């Protein structure tokens, strides 16, 4: 460990995975390939949905961003309806009648 105020020397570079972690990941991927890869995962999704969704949760990014890494754009739906339910039903009925009278 570097003393306070001194640059760090030696050790792994930042972001380099632990060798043991890399080895275990390689073994898991090899076992998955041996069991049928995607087809095996599809069977597990049906047979063990809880375990499968736990796996899915482990690989989904923890932080979601919008376009080009920017913030997520939110469009609210707090806009008043253009017509009431009754107006919509009346319009639909009228359109049906017009369609039937044309044929």
Structure tokens at 37: 């890869």
Q: Tens digits of per-residue pLDDT, 24-57?
A: 889 988 999 999 999 999 999 999 999 999 988 8
Nearest partner of 28 among 15, 19, 16, 37, judged by Cα: 37
User: Rounded to two decimals, what is the model's pTM?
Assistant: 0.42
**Residue 51 CA: distances (Å) to CA of 32, 35, 44, 56:** 15, 17, 8, 9
CB 60 within 8 A of CB 53: no
Query: In sequence order, what are the residues at sequence separation of 6 or more whose Cβ sits closer than 8 angstroms to the Cβ of residue 55?
Result: none
Give the lowest-confidence range in 1-15, 26-40, 73-87.
Answer: 1-15
| Residue-range domain boundaries for the chain | 18-60
Query: In sequence order, what are the residues at sequence separation of 6 or more whose Cβ sits closer than 8 angstroms to the Cβ of residue 36?
Result: 43
> pLDDT higher for 82 or 91?
91
């Amino acid at each position: 460990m570097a003393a306070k105020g001194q640059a760090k020397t030696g050790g792994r570079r930042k972001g380099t995975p632990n060798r043991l972690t890399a080895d275990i990941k390689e073994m898991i991927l090899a076992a998955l390939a041996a069991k049928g890869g995607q087809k095996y995962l599809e069977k597990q999704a049906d047979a063990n949905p809880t375990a499968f969704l736990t796996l899915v949760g482990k690989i989904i990014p923890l932080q979601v961003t919008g376009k080009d890494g920017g913030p997520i754009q939110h469009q609210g739906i707090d806009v008043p309806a253009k017509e009431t339910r009754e107006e919509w039903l009346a319009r639909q009925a009228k359109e049906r009648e017009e369609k039937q009278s044309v044929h």
